[in-house]
Amino acid sequence: MERLLMLMERLREHGIEIDHLDLGGGLGVPYRDEKPPQPFDYASQLLARLSRWEGGEALTLLFEPGRSIAANAGLMLTRVEFLKPGETKNFAIVDAAMNDLIRPALYQAWQAIVPVDTREVRESALYDVVGPVCETGDFLGKERELAIAEGDLLAVRSAGAYGFVMASNYNSRPRAAELMVDGDSCHVVRARETVASLWAGEALLPEGGR
């Protein structure tokens, strides 16, 4: 904020008046133990500072809080295909992969991973939750304490922002379906891709062509 106000002062000296100020996102997402400011507290601090700046009351403020709204409104469901115990690590191999949710592999982002059905009591263990893609970086979470068995459904939380939009067809994997929950109803808003849809836009060279 201070740097923006300094820039606006310099522009004002050259006869350039700014009538709106875009402050971007600003609000973080509590993926784990983070405690970002509440919207009201965040806005109050900004307005208090602008009120002390000449012309601040006339500015139109713009915010872009998309990720802070969407991230925790969505999750990704994946099923445990295999449990692979090891001497130093245990692996939970699931049917989702880095192509479905790239943030953990790309940014080392931490996303909560929890069993959907917790009614059956099981012993917990530490697992690296990994996908079936042939990449050492294909993981959704590392060293997660989970009480799970093969066939269990897991929820990867906070996947509503930069999830599907960053997904790809890497390793010839069709992208997952997207569903919208509205009260007690569930609706498919984007159909699951198929292998056939992956090559639907491709074409062979004409016979005898070069």
pLDDT of residue 42: 87
| pLDDT tens-digit map of 101-136 | 999 999 999 999 999 998 888 899 999 999 999 999
3-state secondary structure of 183: coil
pLDDT of residue 88: 93
Owning domain of residue 38: 2-69
Domain termination residue (choose one: 24, 54, 69) = 69
| pLDDT tens-digit map of 59-108 | 888 888 888 889 999 999 999 999 999 999 999 999 999 999 999 999 99
| pLDDT tens-digit map of 16-56 | 998 988 888 778 888 888 888 888 888 888 888 888 888 88
Domain termination residue (choose one: 29, 44, 69) = 69
Q: Determine the Cα–Cα distance for residues 113 and 88; give it in Å rounded to an integer.
A: 21
Say yes or no: 103 and 26 in one domain: no
Say yes or no: 46 and 125 in one domain: no
pLDDT of residue 210: 64
Beta strands in the chain (DSSP E): 20-22, 60-62, 76-84, 91-94, 113-115, 125-130, 139-146, 153-156, 178-182, 185-190
Number of alpha helices (DSSP H) and beta strands (DSSP E) in the chain: 5, 10
Say yes or no: 63 and 80 in one domain: no
What domain count does the chain have?
2
| Of 155, 202, 198, 205, the residue nearest 179 (C-alpha) | 155
Catalytic option among 16, 121, 134, 205:
134
Say yes or no: 64 and 156 in one domain: no
Contact, 130 vs 138, CB < 8 A?
Answer: yes
Q: Is-catalytic flag, 186?
A: no
| pLDDT tens-digit map of 134-182 | 999 999 999 999 999 999 999 999 999 999 999 999 999 999 999 999 9
Number of C-beta neighbours around residue 190 at 10 A: 12
Domain termination residue (choose one: 69, 94, 123) = 69
Q: Determine the Cα–Cα distance for residues 121 and 115; give it in Å rounded to an integer.
A: 12
User: Above 70 in pLDDT, residue 209?
Assistant: no
Residue % of the chain over a pLDDT of 70 = 99
